C-alpha cells in the first residue's frame, strides 16, 4: 500500500524495523519504476525514429556507396555486388558523404568511428561487415630493438586498462 499509494494511511508499519524495511522498499520501488519507465520510453522512441535506412549489407544494394580505392572495403563491396563510387582518400570519402554525392560510405571502423565522434552530422550505423585486425610491422628477422619494447608497452596498457581508456576516448 505504501509503495503504490493506494492506501489511506490506515495501515502502516508501527515498529522501527518495519519502517526501515518499508523505507528501503519504497526507494527500491521508485528506482525500479523509474528505470522501467525510462527503458520503455527509450525503446519506443528508438523503434519510432529508427536508426536510419541502413541496417546491414543488403540495404546498400539500392544506395550510392563510396569506398577508398584499393582497400579491403572496395574488394568487399565489389564481392557482394554493391555498386560503388571510388575515391582516393578518407577526406574525399567524408566530403562525398557530406555533399550528399553518396548515401553511405564503407571503410575501416576505427577511422569512421573517430570521424563520427568529431562530427555530429555523421553516424556509424549497422554492424561491422568483416572484423579485421590492425598490425604493426618491424624489420624482418626480429632484430628490431623496438619490437620487445612495443609488445611490453601494449601488454602493460591492456593490463592497466589504459588501452580501453584510449579506445573509448578516440572511438
CATH architecture of 57-118: 3-Layer(aba) Sandwich (3.40)
State the DSSP string of the chain.
-TTTT-S-SSS---SHHHHHHHHHHHHHHHHHHHHHHHHHHHHHHHHHH-S-S--SGGGGTTS-EEEETTSHHHHHHHHTT--EEEESSHHHHHHHHHTTS-SEE---HHHHHHHHHH-TT----S--SS---------TTS--HHHHHHHHHHHHHHHHTHHHHHHHHH-
* Tens digits of residue pLDDT in 107-143: 988 889 889 888 888 888 877 787 777 788 888 776 7
Provide the mean pLDDT of the chain.
83
Amino acid at each position: 500500500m505504501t509503495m503504490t499509494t493506494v492506501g489511506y494511511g490506515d495501515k502502516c508499519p508501527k515498529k522501527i524495523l518495519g519502517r526501515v524495511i518499508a523505507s528501503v522498499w519504497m526507494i527500491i520501488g521508485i528506482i525500479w519504476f523509474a528505470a522501467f519507465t525510462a527503458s520503455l520510453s527509450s525503446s519506443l522512441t528508438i523503434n519510432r525514429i529508427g536508426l536510419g535506412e541502413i541496417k546491414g549489407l543488403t540495404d546498400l544494394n539500392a544506395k550510392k556507396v563510396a569506398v577508398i580505392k584499393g582497400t579491403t572495403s572496395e574488394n568487399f563491396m565489389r564481392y557482394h555486388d554493391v555498386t560503388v563510387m571510388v575515391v582516393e582518400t578518407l577526406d574525399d570519402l567524408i566530403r562525398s558523404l557530406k555533399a550528399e554525392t553518396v548515401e553511405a560510405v564503407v571503410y575501416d571502423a576505427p577511422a569512421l568511428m573517430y570521424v563520427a565522434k568529431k562530427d555530429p552530422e555523421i553516424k556509424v550505423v549497422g554492424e561491422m561487415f568483416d572484423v579485421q585486425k590492425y598490425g604493426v610491422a618491424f624489420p624482418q628477422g626480429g632484430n628490431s630493438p623496438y619490437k620487445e619494447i612495443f609488445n611490453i608497452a601494449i601488454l602493460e596498457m591492456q593490463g592497466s586498462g589504459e588501452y580501453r581508456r584510449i579506445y573509448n576516448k578516440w572511438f
